[in-house]
Each structure stands twice: as structure tokens, then as C-alpha cells.
Structure 1
Amino acid sequence: MTPSFFIDAWSFVDGVTQLAEPEPGPLVPGAWYHFQRDLEETEHRLAQAGIPASAIDSVLADDTRPRFESLGNGNFLLILRGVNLNQGEQPDDMLSIRMLFYGGVLISTRKLPSRAIADIRRELVEGKGPDDLGAVVVEIIEKLHERIEDFVEPFDAIIAAQEEEPDADNSVLMSLNKRLIKLRRFLKPQRYALDALIESLPPLLSDDRFDLANASDTVRRINESVDFYLEHIGMVQQYQAHRHTEKVNRNTYLLSIISGVFLPISFLTGLLGVNIGGMPGVDSPMAFAAFCGIMVVLVTVEMWLLKRWRFI
């Protein structure tokens, strides 16, 4: 079955009602349309609805970072990122949600399903969702951030556990570090996008300044948490590297002490092992016992000297 460019639509004029797939032509003012971004039909339908080509290009672009752009006359483009919770995907490979408000119509597009928008659609079906287009924008932002927070929150406990583990696997921290860096790549511009949205504050969102400010504080707090986790990981890795270096140095020092103790013994045994005439004690049955006694005395003296000189 060929996937449809149309996912869902809701009108917020005279109550909240679900709409059918739009016919070619203008879209219904006061309605929210959710489209599949990676289908050519989406571009054709948006063009038929009178959306400018520049806005269509922005809302359908393959790879974009979070940003806000005012299009004049209260119209705007808002691009955000959320964690990818689809089966078989990595959450830190963040999916993109684009929102375009133009001519009284709110248009959102996706490439992969977003649980944040799925929750809003389910709430609307149950009669518990947002009651106007501004509330739709705010709720999408809030739910995207809720899932990012849920994804990031366990990292603190994982890092702490690795810090307490004497023989921790550094690959765990390396993996966390990479995931956090990927998150930070999009979360920082997301914060700037929301700040720009609040500063511009289109008429559609004039009654939602407080909620948008809370959303901006949330993404700022998430950014601070990500930065803290990255610093914490760096400290733990430094501590683990220092502990490993100390262990190697201690073992190397111990081997040096052992080598130093046995060096004179090795010299004497090597010297007496020369198979030539004139070796002392060859004809004495007590020579071997006497030689072993000398070795014991020699080792004892060496250990006493090493302790006196505080090498051990």
C-alpha cells in the first residue's frame, strides 16, 4: 500500500473537529494539518494551497537544525528536534518536527513518527487535547521536551555507577559521551529557536508567552544537564585513567624491586655456572648448602637496605 502524504487534520473553529484529507486547493483556516514530509505529493499539495515556495522548501528540507523564522504578517516557521523513540532507532538520532503557520493554517510535517504528536492526536480524539492552534504549538514543544528529559535523566545514575566501579568498562562512558554530544548538537540551537520565538511572539502565540517561557527554561535546563554530564564523564574518565596509571606504575615499581633483589643472585649464579676449571667448591659436598646460605644472607641484607632507604 502506498503511504499517504496526509496523516491527520483538526479544525479549531467552533470547537475541535477532525478533518478529512484535504482536496487540492486552499487549506481550512484555523486548522492544524499534519503531513508526511518525504513524499512528493506533500510538496504539490502545499503549493496548491498557496504556500510560498521558500516556506515549502524549509518545511520539507531533508536536514535542518532547530530554528525559528518570522515570515511576516504573523506567519512563522519553527523547526524543532525530539528523541527518536521508534522501534529499531537510536533515541539520540533525533527526529525533526517542522511547524509552519501561514494564512491562519498550522502545518506540521514529519519523516518518522513522533510520540509527542501521537499523544496529542490521541488526546484530541479523547476530547482532552489543546483547544486552539496556539495551544497545539505549545503542547508539541512541551511533549518533545518531556521525552528528551525522560531520555537524559537516567544518564546521571549510569555515570555515578561507573564512577564507583573499580574496574569500570570505559566503553560505557564513551558511548554515553557520544550520545550526549549528538543531543547537544541540536539542543543548543533549539534553545535559541525558542528564545527567538518568544522575542518575536507571533499573534497566534500572544496568549502563550508564559508557557513558552517555561518551555525555554526546560530546554535550557536540559542543556545544562547535558553539559554537566559531559563534564562528569570527563572527570570520571580522568580519574579512571589516573587510577590505571597508578596501578601500572605500582606494578612496574614492584617488578623493579624484584629485579633489583635478584640481580646480584643472577650475577653470582651466572658466574658460578661457567663450566671451566678452577671453580671453587667443586669437590666439596657442602659447597651448594653454603652457596644457598650466602644467597639467603644476601637477600636479607638487600631487603634491609631497601627498607632502610624506604624503597619498600
Structure 2
Amino acid sequence: MESPVTSKVSYGAEPGLRFALLLDGCGGCTQLDIARARRWKPEDGIIWLHFERDHVAAADWINRESGLDSFVTEALLEEETRPRVEPVADGLLIILRGVCATAPDEEPDKQTDIDLVPLHMWIDVNKVISLRDSGHYITALRDIRRALEKGKGPHRTGDLLALIGDKLVRDLEPVLDAMDEEVDELDEMIFHGEASEVRQRLKLLRRRSVQLRRYLAPQRDALNRIEHDDAPWLLERDKLRMREVIDKLMRFIEYLDAIRDRTGILHDDLSTVISERIARNSNRLAALAALLLPPSVVAGLFGMNVGGIPGVNDTWAFVIIVMFVTITSVATLWLLRRIGWL
């Protein structure tokens, strides 16, 4: 095994390679550059290579230098993928989804709101190859790398796989909590009559919950397949830990279903509020038309340009008409209030 070196390789310094770690089997690691990674042999220990999937240099290394089957290399570099697990020889081809975070060097005003991003992996007894798209940043891998640098990381590939699954699922909890808080906020807005901006936010939230579930359901099946795989490097303790991860993921899926159901209820409540508002405005317009009806009729009758209109020569005729219209309007207003229109 190569001995640790005092100089550290800068994170992401190699084209297409985010990091290369040589695990010491005791929770620590040695950082490698691409040249030392090429000289790696299985007897040196466990190597973990993390690439940018859409980088030309990474694709070239996967195709020419990884030594993997063509079926595996094509799957690792595939564009559109869903969570799945495929056993190949003594290794596992694993495709999962992880929560995307903002990269440390990314400016706050350029942060992206990406829910789940693909993580492609190949794992066997002494090699781990993982790939994620450039511009994405998965906190689960960052936390494991930092733990290894502090000497508190996984010792084996099975341990590493269980830890990756655990942290991928762990990072889902803040996302679901934020969605639940937004549902509560929208509920309050509808309750207090602030329904103007609720419809669009509710539509986006419901679409987001459907999209999340579309990936989490197959991810549960993929993790379940890992638990039941008979790879020799997967110990019973790794499978037990994976079982706990699956149970937590199932609870999150149920939680997501509850959020989706709540958004459906809120959508119905919003439709009811809007219908009531339309009906109330229609009643007000009808009441206003009813109040204006007597004056309109009187004005229409006395405004006709024909002979025989009463009160033409009477100085009190205008006052009498105004009093009549006023009394009629007041009586109409009282009647509308009596029947509940106002």
C-alpha cells in the first residue's frame, strides 16, 4: 500500500476528476493524483475515484483505463437514468439519486434549485468509481470524503456503500421538511384569504412532490436489491445498515405521499375560496343593479321626449321625484338585506 504523503492534491484539480482516495482500511485515506491512480494495484488497498460524468477526460478514462465491462461503462456514462442496481461478476453497478447542494465556490446569486441528481457507481471488493454531473454537488459524498481525511471514515467497500446510501437518504429529510413548511404556509395564506399567489406555488409544489416520488420509489427498490445481494464483500452488518436505510426511505416516501395529498386538499380549498369570492362579487353586482333599478326606471320614464309627462309645470315635481327615488332605494336596500343578498 502506498504510504501517506504530506502534500495534498487539490480537490477538483485534475480535469474531470473530483478526487481520488486510497483507503487505508482503518478509516483514513491518502489523496492521489491521476498519475498515481493509474499505477494503483489491488494489493495497494481500496481506491475510490470520483469523476464528473459529462467531462471528456472522465469519459475517456472510464472507457479506456477503468478495465470495466462495456455494459458497465455505457451505464456509468449514460445520460438519462433511473435508480437501479445490476450485479456484474463480483461487483455492483449502482445508479442512485442524491440531493444537490451548492458548491462551495459558487456565488449565492447563482445557486440552483435542483432536487435530485444522478449518482453513478461501480463497486467491487477493492475499487469504487463514482460519477456525478458537473455543476452538481452531492453533500453525502463530501461528508464521507471529509470523514476519511480525518481518519473516521469507512474501512471497506461494503461499509462505504452502506454509508453512501445512509447519507443520500439523510439529505432528503431537510428537503421534505421544507416542503411540509411550505404546505403549512400556503394553508395559512388560504385561511386568511391571501389566495392571489397560492395557485402557482401550489402547482409547483405538487409537481415537485410527484417528481421526487418518481425517483424515490425505484431508489427504494434499488437499495432493497443491494440488501439481498450475495456479493462476498457485503457483510451482514452492511446489509443490516442498508435495511435501516430502506426503512427510513419508505417513511420518507409515505411522508411525500402525505404532502401530495395535502396539496390536493389545499387545491380543493383554494377552488372553494375562489368560487365563494366569485359568488360574493356576483351577489354584490346583482345587489347594486337592484339598487339602481328604481332610479333608472323613473329617470327613463320622465326623460322621454313625449307630451303628457306629469309635473312639467309643477315647481315641486323634481323634489317629489327625488324623494320617491330615495324612498324606493332605501326600501330596496332593506329588502336585499332581509333576503341575505347584502
1:191 deviates by: 1.0
The normalised TM-score by structure 1 is 0.89
Cα contact 2:284–2:341 (8 A) shared by 1: no
* One-letter amino acid matched to 1:5: L
Residue identity in the other structure for 1:50: G
Out of 250, 254, 272, the residue aligned to residue 224 of structure 1 is 254
Which residue, out of 94, 118, 124, partners 2:116?
94
**Structure 1 residue 277, shift from structure 2 partner:** 2.6
| Alignment correspondent of 2:182 | 158
Residue among 103, 106, 120 paired with 2:144: 120
Which residue is equivalent to 1:196? 225
CA deviation string 1:34-63 (max 9, x = no partner): 231223443444443421111111122122
Amino acid at match of 2:23: S
Q: Match of 1:11?
A: 23
Q: Secondary structure at the match of 2:228?
A: helix
Q: 2:214 aligns with which of 165, 178, 185?
A: 185
Q: Provide closer, same or farther for how the CA distance between residues 172 and 10 of structure 1 changes in structure 2, counting only shifts above 3 A.
A: same
**Mapped partners of 2:215, 2:322: distance in 1:** 73
CA contact (8 A) 1:92 1:183 kept: no
Q: Are the structure 2 counterparts of residues 119 and 291 from structure 1 closer, same or farther at C-alpha, using a change threshold of 3 Å?
A: same
Question: Aligned equivalents of 1:134 and 1:34: distance in 2?
Answer: 16
Partner Cα separation in structure 1 for residue 69 and residue 99 of structure 2: 30
1:167 corresponds in structure 2 to 194
> Is the contact between residue 97 and residue 168 of structure 2 (CA under 8 Å) also seen in structure 1?
yes
Could you say which residue in structure 2 is the equivalent of 1:288? 318
Residues in 2 aligned to 1:290 and 1:16: alpha-carbon distance in whole angstroms: 102
Q: Which amino acid aligns with 2:98?
A: G
Runs of 5+ consecutive residues of structure 1 not aligned to the other structure: none
In structure 2, relative to structure 1, the CA distance for the partners of 1:178 and 1:92 (3 Å cut) is: farther
Partners of 1:40 and 1:28 lie apart in 2 by 26
The equivalent of 1:233 in structure 2 is: 263
Q: Once the 2 structures are TM-superposed, how far is the Cα of residue 10 of structure 1 from its aligned partner?
A: 2.1
CA contact (8 A) 1:85 1:114 kept: yes
Question: Contact 1:35–1:109 at 8 Å: present in 2 too?
Answer: yes
Letter in 2 for 1:185: R
User: Aligned in 2, Cα 1:43/1:283: closer, same or farther, shift over 3 Å?
Assistant: closer
Structure 2 Cα separation of the partners of residues 70 and 101 of structure 1:
10
Number of equivalenced pairs:
311
Matched, 1:50 2:67: yes
Superposition pairs for residues 16-95 of structure 1, below 5 Å? 16-18=28-30, 20=32, 21=34, 22=36, 24=38, 27-28=41-42, 30-36=45-51, 37-46=53-62, 47-72=64-89, 74-86=90-102, 87=106, 88-95=110-117
Contact residue 100 and residue 115 of structure 2 kept, 8 A = yes
Structure 1 residue 4, shift from structure 2 partner:
4.2
| TM-score, length of structure 2 as denominator length | 0.82
CA distance in 1, matches of 2:215, 2:114: 10
Secondary structure of the corresponding residue to residue 270 of structure 2: helix
Q: Assess if the C-alpha contact under 8 Å between 1:201 and 1:209 holds in 2.
A: no
SS of the equivalent of 1:154 reads helix
Specify the alignment match of 1:107 in structure 2.
129
How far is 1:201 from its partner?
A: 4.5
CA distance in 2 between partners of 1:2 and 1:15 (Å): 24
The question of whether the paired residues in 1 share the 8 Å contact of 2:187 and 2:266 is answered with: yes
My pick for the range that moved more, 297-306 or 186-195, is 297-306
- Long gaps (5+) in structure 2: 1-12
Q: Which amino acid aligns with 1:61?
A: E
Equivalent residues of 1:138, 1:212 under 8 A apart: yes
**Structure 1 residue 102: deviation in Å?**
3.7
1:208-287 matched pairs, under 5 angstroms: 208-287=238-317
